[in-house]
Structure 1
Amino acid sequence: MVKEELLRFDGRPLFPERLAYTANYDLSPLEACLYADVTDYVRNEMNRADKLDGKRKGTVGFALTQLQRRLASSPEAIYQSLKRRRKRLEERLEEMKLVARGHAVKQGVAETLGEYIVKKQIDIPDNLDDIDDELSAEEYELYAEQVVDQATAAETIHELDAEIVILKGLEHQALQVVQSKSDRKWEELSSLLQDKPEMFTASGSRRKLIIFTEHKDTLNYLVGRISDMLGQPESVVIIHGGTNRDQRRKAQEEFRNNPDVLVLIATDAAGEGVNLQNANLMVNYDLPWNPNRLEQRFGRIHRIGQSEVCHLWNLVANETREGEVFNKLFEKIETEKKALGGKVFDILGEAFENKSLKELLIEAIRYGESPEVKQRLNQVIEGALDTNHLKEIMQRNALVEQHMTLADLYIVKEEMEKAEARKLQPYFIRAFFSEAFPLLGGEMRSREFGRFEVRHVPAIFRERDRVIGETRTPVLKKYERICFEKQQIRMDGKPMADLIHPGHPLMHVTTDIILSMHREKLKQGAILFDANDDSTEAKVLFMIDHSVRQNSADNPLTVSRRLQFVEINSQSQADNAGWAPHLDLEPINDNDLIRIKTVLSQPWLQGDLESLALQYASRHLVPAHYQEVKARLEKQADKILAAVNERLVKEISYWSDRYIKLTDDVSAGKQPRVQPEMARRRVDELTERLNQRKRELFTMKNVVSSTPVILGGALVIPQGLLAKLKGQTTFSLDAQARARVERIAMEAVINAERKKGFTIFDVSAQKCGWDITSRPPVNADGSILPDRHIEVKGRAKGQSTITVSRNEILYALNQADKFILAIVLVNTDNSFEGPYYIANPFTKEPDWAETSKNLDLAALLERASKDV
């Protein structure tokens, strides 16, 4: 199974479709002349380099291919490269003349240039043929910059002088092209940017776009041209090999969230480890000679979370030797894409096993005028992208060999739903952030439903972000859109929104500032009122912080942190209070505060209740949290280790066998493209990588439980106790009667769901926000229907209202279509009517001051149905 085959639980593809287009253009007469002359220079110098020794031959060949690639990149890039190369070689020539004179005076002979260059050799890897795979994109850029302007095939001062004369002519020719403003490649890009409908939303706004180039000179050139075209210099951000980590993160965040930033121009340094799925448009201004880079680039936007079709345009010059190879490659890719269902891009890097794409391009540059060579190159591409060959590679690289069993899928799905239920609900986060952010001077405005624009982030936030330094992503000055629910991230025709969650840098800093201002108030405690509790005894509620961390002295990373709640009654008995009981409580008013003075003086409140709460948490809540995290991490680490072992051991065996074969070839007098030393080094690197991953995975699952800490507490006064103190008679059923009604209602719903063929799980004791999980049978096509989360409300016949807590409403809204309210009317003889089902029972969250709502039972029953 490759990633194009991955599905969601409901059967929808996990990844959207991706479409690639070839944008061909013709060179202008001036550009065509420059291309021919520079290519002749490169070809002639390569022929001379063939006579050099091994390492120097590779160095010069690498430098010349870089020059050819800059020729294809832009007039600006080849002009600047020729100028720098000419200047460097002139400096070298002057040095050599001085050295030669001095050496001749001393020894009577002149040292040759070839000898001098070997002494001055730049330190680059031995296996230059595989440098694209050995080096990261950043390292590759730095090496290329060092080598391209210096390495030469000239062996003597006379040869170097002659090469400089040629370079001067080419430099002048390139300058003429630059000054003529004749740049057909830019004109093609400009046409794409202005004419392609995919570049714009339905409302006419420009979509965000990523442009990849291979060279910094072209990058700087494009920044100027595109900024002028858009009329806004701030609309363009850049990432290249020289961009430091902080600047890179800032550029990514600006591109993701700043509405003024429309274009990211990047070299392949941005093609590794960067997620940019807020954009779905990409242009390859320059095409990499390593096909792995093509997938890495496209993978920046074609990621999990991308909901739109991804479009890629590859700019290819007609009537150039590289262009002929790329056109044939893309034509074959399109053919195989139709045959294999769009699964070609992921395996391009492995398709050229016997002859690399770079070798094909160099051969085209050197011998491309020969019809025999052209035919052979076409045959190599046809063979590399043969359908059966590609199928073999896909089978070898499959993410998993077997589909997950239905039982495994249900286990994963259940774990995801439990995590969804436990997480801090988006409504709570929005309520907090909407109050706290403006309070601290921030400005946010409502835009589309559930989405907001942050117009101004005060400097205090960015200063705080730099001080605490816990998030790698910087806080920005503004955000084009933010939201609090996953389904609001993307909206047709609107900017992608940043999801505000507890780990988001803006939320993280907001929370940190508020806590620094008010943390001590938590420890002081509070007196709160529970309007949903008819009991007549007060309770004390404790909020406890518990963490599970890695057992590492060097880096004790916290892997899970959870708030736990313990309540203690008047008999000093402790119990689990659930996930978020405080959200259903409200401040007690001043008049009622006077009435509960007798409660405050009760002896049990003077005991060491904190110790009782910590003891209960340590015995019951902490171990459960620890075991849950430990089991999850062990399972995850073991699964990763098995996959890593399988892949790396296979690679180690492959390179070990290849080392033996290459050694035999060298002993037999052959000259293999890959040297045995490179294969041996590859074995060592893979072995060390395997050992390092084993160490990391051991650390990952080796976790310890931290000591629980009490953050705060509250005395909770139930409405039953307050009514008693007021001398009022409560109208609620007594506890025994309520238990009878609730039991009958639960049994009625469970039996009704089972009759439908559903599998039932009673989760009422887990306090997860609903009472019953009802699982439908699997569809005929194997896809899984969503579970039904049913909240059961039993009422004695004759009652007129149903009370729902703030928490219950918010859980319902968070679960959306999965949440169902089931009402059962229970008669005095234990017979019942119902159950009556209401899907989506609530349309909006409670106001900030509401802790519960009384709903009219008759109105609810009018909306209800016996079959949902």
Structure 2
Amino acid sequence: RPLFGVAARALLAPPLDAITLAGNEEQVRDEIAELRQFAGSARAVEESGNEAKLSRLKDILQKEGFFDDSEQRLLLFTEFKDTLDYLTDRLEAWGFRVGCIHGGMKPGSRDESGTRLHAEQQFREGNIQVLLATEAAGEGINLQCCHILFNYDIPWNPNRLEQRMGRIHRYGQVHDCLIFNFVATNTIEGRVLNRLMEKLQEIRDALDDDAVFNVVGEVLPAAQVERVLRDYYAGRLGDEDLEDRMLKDVDEGRFRAICKTALEGLASKKLNLDMLVERRARAQEQRVVPENIARFIEACAKVASLPLKPVDGLAHTFEPGRTPPALKKHDRATNWKLPQLSARYPQLSTDRETADKHSLEWVTPGHPLFEALRRQSLDAAADAFARGACFHSLNHEAAVRLDVYRAKAVDGLGRTVQERLFAVELSEEGEPRQREPRLLADLVPAAAPDVLPGAASVPQAMGWLTETVLTPFLAEIRSERSAEVERVAEHVELSLTEVLHRIDLEIGRAGEEAEKRSPGAEGRLAQAEARHADALARRDRRREELERERAVTLQGVERLACALILPHPEREAPELTRLRPNPETEMTAMRIVMEHETARGCQVYDVHEKNLGYDITSLDLSSGELRLIEVKGLAATTGTILLTPNERRVAEDRPDCYWLYVVTGCANDPTLREPIRDPARFPWHEVTKVQHYWMNVETMAKGSAKEPDSSGGSEG
């Protein structure tokens, strides 16, 4: 009786040709019987517990101290779910706390047992010591809390090997990574893969560059290893041809050229060293510091009724209570793109170093809890934004209104490129002036007067805002985006041109084989032609996407809030008069400091009108040192200097790069005193009426905690 019907044979013939060399039904039956015998042998080995790779795994775990140190963590990859289940049983029997991530699990949340996010969180917190994973964990998760990785079996696609390594070998990793690759060298496949790994290591040693492992995919296309092995098992390659085909492109010269190309890209005129130093300094200046995030979370937690208890001995670290319903509602919103909020978070820190050191939850912009608190606070403040607020200012002689706007730039794909806040100050005459929203940090909250001044009702200056502020903002964003798209487009063209070239070569080889009527050549030719068409379509799609990314427009300019700013009622009182800056003294002090920093060879910018909490940025391009400089000037040779609330806060938050430069004798003989780094460490005295802080300049010079003499004047 035929083993298969006619229709079934027609359906199964092509795949059978790819997986068996059997020429007739009897040979197929023999192969099936042989496979059953192999399966029985495999089960016997599994049940005995003497499987060679498992024994080797146990030996290495003992050598690396896993059995003695329950805090050590291990990430282990396997290709197969059955192997994952098998290893789970064995590792649990050895006493390890084991978790797993595989393709059958949904992303879920940290609180939902049996989901990927829950397993990842448990591994980070140390509740799981060994995390077993299939390719489901090869991309998209960050496990730098672990530095030891086992590839229990090697994927045929070298790109997937890179992706696995990238789970632990990434930003934030503080240890050298150990990566073990298990290969069965007593099989043809194992010998070739082992030779491939040895060859890569030889090239790495010759070049002294770990980048070799980052560009494997450039030398070995994703399907090459699999294709060569399938050709071998289908009988189209002999033993002597297998290694030659696999390793023909794996040579030192090829890797050296690719690594050099990558380095040349970084060293090109578009990315010169000075530009990199400037970008790093800009990022350092603009980064949101842990202190700011901690203050924000504390304030928002009160609004959201989230219990938040400070952790003794750890700065910017808290133990939150249960997540209240008021916050939970936000993760059900249609525009929520983050993981679900946990029912209760473990101890958290806004400082990355503290979180890593103590295995805490790191909360920063982009974390679900931060985002929910932000949304809840905005909702709670909506009425206040609509009503406006009133403040007193020492530096304003007449009433003004401050309008705060949010402008969003989007590209042609509808993605937000940048959002920015702008503030416009309007006088009673309606004359506009651009200010920084941070100006509010130096003002004192006040009750609204019975009769509102004219500035409260002047029309918005939208025309002036668009022409003077938003148009330059859009031009800046367009310029940055255009340069970025140009770099990406250049890389896309180079990459896809190389891909098309490789496919063209494959088409040529397959065409020659087809002319010789080689087995399977027609199929390989059709596949190569299909890949060629797909690559062309992909290039066209990417070109279109890049053009749409280049098209940046303004969208959704809206007034968020307004504030009425009134002169402080005690502005002329003697104890407050000395707090008001003297413009001439300030200008003299700024000139002296700018000249000093320029003479040091630094790149210097005057930012005193932006209310950043400092007056000057100074960047040493040779060392990369950035100084945020607050300038204070005294007309006399001694006296008191003042810090506004915003200046004091920034000084406390940025002790690494905040400097105080004091210029005395500005009236006659300006002299720059020794610059002081981290001035917040000195004993400042608060003027409670306006929340300013003062200190005698001699106290700073002596570096002592001596009670300063408050009789001197201040003009800075």
Question: TM-score range with shorter-chain normalisation?
Answer: 0.7 to 0.9
> How far is 1:855 from its partner?
2.6
Structure in which a larger fraction of residues adopt helix: 1
Counterpart position of 2:696: 856
Contact 2:274 2:621 in 1 (8 A): no
Contact 2:427 2:455 in 1 (8 A): no
1:427 corresponds, among 286, 291, 309, to 291
Q: Which residues of structure 1 form unaligned runs of 5+? A: 1-99, 101-110, 129-150, 779-783
> How far is 1:526 from its partner?
2.0
Counterpart position of 2:712: none
Q: Quick one: distance in 1 between partners of 2:16 and 2:434? A: 62
Contact 2:323 2:344 in 1 (8 A): no
1:740 corresponds, among 584, 609, 616, to 584
**1:313-342 deviations in Å (ceiling 9; x for gaps):** 122346455444444433333332221113
> How far is 1:636 from its partner?
1.0
Q: Quick one: distance in 2 between partners of 1:572 and 1:769? A: 28
Counterpart position of 1:138: none
1:93-492 aligned at under 5 Å gives the runs 113=4, 115-121=6-12, 159=27, 161-197=29-65, 206-230=71-95, 232=97, 236-240=99-103, 242-246=104-108, 250-251=117-118, 254=121, 257-317=124-184, 319-341=186-208, 342-351=210-219, 356-358=224-226, 373=239, 384-395=249-260, 398=262, 400-401=264-265, 403-405=267-269, 408-418=272-282, 420-422=284-286, 424-437=288-301, 439-443=304-308, 445-446=310-311, 449-450=314-315, 452=317, 454=319, 456-458=321-323, 460=325, 461-477=327-343, 479=345, 482-486=348-352, 488=354, 490-491=356-357
Q: Quick one: distance in 1 between partners of 2:81 and 2:672? A: 71
Cα RMSD, aligned residues only = 3.9
1:619 corresponds, among 464, 467, 489, to 467
Q: Does 1:831 align with 2:652?
A: no
Aligned length: 690
Residue type matched to 1:631 in 2?
A: S
Contact 1:546 1:709 in 2 (8 A): yes
> How far is 1:547 from its partner?
1.3
Q: Quick one: distance in 2 between partners of 1:124 and 1:617? A: 68
Residue type matched to 1:315 in 2?
A: F
Q: Does 1:763 align with 2:630?
A: no
Query: SS at the partner of 1:580?
Result: helix
Contact 2:306 2:320 in 1 (8 A): no
Query: SS at the partner of 1:398?
Result: helix
Contact 2:636 2:664 in 1 (8 A): yes
Q: Quick one: distance in 1 between partners of 2:321 and 2:452? A: 51
> How far is 1:634 from its partner?
1.7
Counterpart position of 2:397: 536
1:574 corresponds, among 405, 409, 432, to 432
Q: Does 1:819 align with 2:667?
A: no
Change (3 A) 1:412 1:861: same
Contact 1:742 1:793 in 2 (8 A): yes
Counterpart position of 1:96: none
Contact 2:579 2:642 in 1 (8 A): no
Q: Quick one: distance in 2 between partners of 1:845 and 1:347? A: 55
Q: Quick one: distance in 1 between partners of 2:86 and 2:197? A: 27
Query: SS at the partner of 2:699?
Result: helix
Counterpart position of 1:585: 443
Q: Quick one: distance in 1 between partners of 2:200 and 2:604? A: 49
Q: Quick one: distance in 2 between partners of 1:166 and 1:297? A: 34
**1:366-418 deviations in Å (ceiling 9; x for gaps):** 99xxxx958x76777776543234324434x6264461459844345435544
Residue type matched to 1:398 in 2?
A: A
> How far is 1:478 from its partner?
5.1
Contact 2:277 2:621 in 1 (8 A): no
Contact 1:741 1:826 in 2 (8 A): no
> How far is 1:837 from its partner?
0.1
Change (3 A) 1:172 1:457: same
Q: Quick one: distance in 1 between partners of 2:153 and 2:653? A: 46
Change (3 A) 1:654 1:728: same
Change (3 A) 1:622 1:487: farther
Change (3 A) 1:349 1:640: closer
1:713 corresponds, among 556, 562, 578, to 562
Residue type matched to 1:581 in 2?
A: L
**1:617-661 deviations in Å (ceiling 9; x for gaps):** 333332233222222222211211121112212322442354245
Q: Quick one: distance in 2 between partners of 1:525 and 1:517? A: 14
Residue type matched to 1:858 in 2?
A: E
TM-score normalized by the length of structure 2? 0.84
> How far is 1:548 from its partner?
1.5
Counterpart position of 1:682: 531
Q: Does 1:696 align with 2:561?
A: no
> How far is 1:854 from its partner?
1.9
Change (3 A) 1:291 1:605: closer
Change (3 A) 1:355 1:570: closer
Contact 1:271 1:300 in 2 (8 A): yes
> How far is 1:728 from its partner?
6.1
Counterpart position of 2:367: 504
> How far is 1:354 from its partner?
14
Counterpart position of 2:384: 521
Q: Quick one: distance in 1 between partners of 2:31 and 2:524? A: 31
Residue type matched to 1:662 in 2?
A: A
Q: Quick one: distance in 2 between partners of 1:399 and 1:443? A: 48
Q: Does 1:558 align with 2:416?
A: yes
2:484 corresponds, among 636, 639, 644, to 636
Q: Quick one: distance in 1 between partners of 2:151 and 2:22? A: 35
Query: SS at the partner of 2:333?
Result: helix
Counterpart position of 2:595: 751
TM-score normalized by the length of structure 1? 0.70
Contact 1:527 1:715 in 2 (8 A): yes
Residue type matched to 2:425 in 1?
A: E
Q: Does 1:785 align with 2:624?
A: yes
Q: Quick one: distance in 1 between partners of 2:101 and 2:24? A: 42
Change (3 A) 1:853 1:237: farther
> How far is 1:489 from its partner?
5.4
**1:526-582 deviations in Å (ceiling 9; x for gaps):** 22233xx24432332222222122345xxx333222222222234432222214222
Change (3 A) 1:313 1:459: farther
Q: Which residues of structure 2 form unaligned runs of 5+? A: 110-114, 705-716
Q: Quick one: distance in 1 between partners of 2:232 and 2:537? A: 38
Contact 1:454 1:478 in 2 (8 A): no
**1:268-299 deviations in Å (ceiling 9; x for gaps):** 23223444434332111111223332222112
Query: SS at the partner of 1:343?
Result: helix
**1:185-224 deviations in Å (ceiling 9; x for gaps):** 3343344445415899xxx562443211000111122233
Contact 1:239 1:266 in 2 (8 A): yes
Contact 1:812 1:840 in 2 (8 A): yes
Residue type matched to 2:150 in 1?
A: V
Q: Quick one: distance in 2 between partners of 1:745 and 1:825? A: 8
Residue type matched to 1:826 in 2?
A: G
Change (3 A) 1:838 1:125: farther
